[in-house]
Structure 1
Amino acid sequence: MSSTNTPAAHTSKATSSHPSRDKPDPTLESNASQGGFAATRPSAAAELASLKIKLQSSLRQFPDFPEPGILFEDILPIFANPELHEGLLRALELAVEKSGWGKPDVVVGLDARGFLFGPSLALRLGASFVPVRKRGKLPGPCETAEFQKEYGSDFFQMQADAVKQGQKVLVVDDIIATGGSAAAAGSLVTKLGGTVAGYVFILELDFLKGRDKLDAPVYTLLTGQEEKLEQ
């Protein structure tokens, strides 16, 4: 070990003896677990990678639901297990930190599964939570946006005072498919004067290319389906 790592003379008695050249210095954080100290916390990247593996393995798939040719991704086992639920929130928190988008002022969750984790994530990030709901479900003045579904159109609404001018907004939902509903939510944020910093999803159906419709960066936590289920 080079002399630059030699403890100063005033170091406490417990660490005053210089370790031999063939043994790790227990006072160094990188060698803490070898020197009898508690192991250091893994890096954010390593922690996120580990959480992704656990979360991915907990998902269930149901072929031909709700109709033939659709492979339904069931995220509900995550919420049935407190450890996985906590892991999901921690993974999303790490993902937002990693994105470089900065701290959001508002987390917007889409009706309905965005409500499962949106409020908890907002609390962790120190942000407010705002729901986007189907038309007719929110009281008071609302802004409305139309979006296309496989069999016609639908409408999303947000209360007119939910997002303030200039606020930075994170839009979250469980799965991005065609991207229409997320795009509608983003347009509502813009109408109210907010700025969409990014979109975060647990899963993505890659073959539908929904992210192409979105006007801000997209982060997907887990690996999604790359092709349609064979009929």
Structure 2
Amino acid sequence: MNIILIPGLWLDAASWDAVVPALEAAGHSVHPLTMPGVGVPAPESAEIGIADWVAAAVAEIDRTSGPVLVVGHSGGGNVAYGAVDARPERVAGVVFVDTFPPGAGGSIWEFPVVDGVVPFPGWDSFEDAEVGDLDEATRAARGARTLSVPARVPTDPIRLTDDRRREVPATMLTGTVPADEIRRIISAAPDWAAELAALQHLEIQELTSGHWPQFSVPDDVAAGILAAAERAGA
């Protein structure tokens, strides 16, 4: 199976380095992506929005043959879901790594724009539940490798048009929100979680981690992705 790995904000393809070997060892073809405009100054990235990130993921799907599993971490989950919406007939499964599927018109989050781009705001800007599992050495090493993202990407609304996206088998690998709480949200089906509640085939796996499990528990992330690939028919 082709496994496309989409990083969250401020990360590139290398953020999946600790996850990729286990996926390849299981016989999968792995495609970690770096999204357009990451690390690029404002004059060259100002016009890049979430639609361009989705288009890049869709282009990677189109370059493959055979079944595809699309994986998105954090804000990359929006991109992954946009790609599923664009190619529901090609995607065998989608994995959300510590993130929720967005609804039509939803966006990632609003972060400060500096010099026309959105830089990494620093680990201290996140709650302990998100970063408490990252030791100082990991924070220093990973923080030094973060990259700015185009200013439009975090706040651009995502376009979703094909309801078949909800039929694609989905997996949530959750570190910051307990699985039982996610199930309660699904049962209550508030407006902000309508898309989550509409997923027809959803598995939830709880990780012992924060918001960046690919750094703290990469083997668990790989195992979750492999299980999703198996469910998707690999």
TM-score range, shorter chain: 0.3 to 0.5
Give the structure-1-normalised TM-score: 0.33
- Structure with the larger strand share: 1
Q: Greater relative contact order (Cα 8 A, min sep 6): structure 1 or 2?
A: 2
Give the structure-2-normalised TM-score: 0.33
Please say which structure displays the higher CA radius of gyration: 1
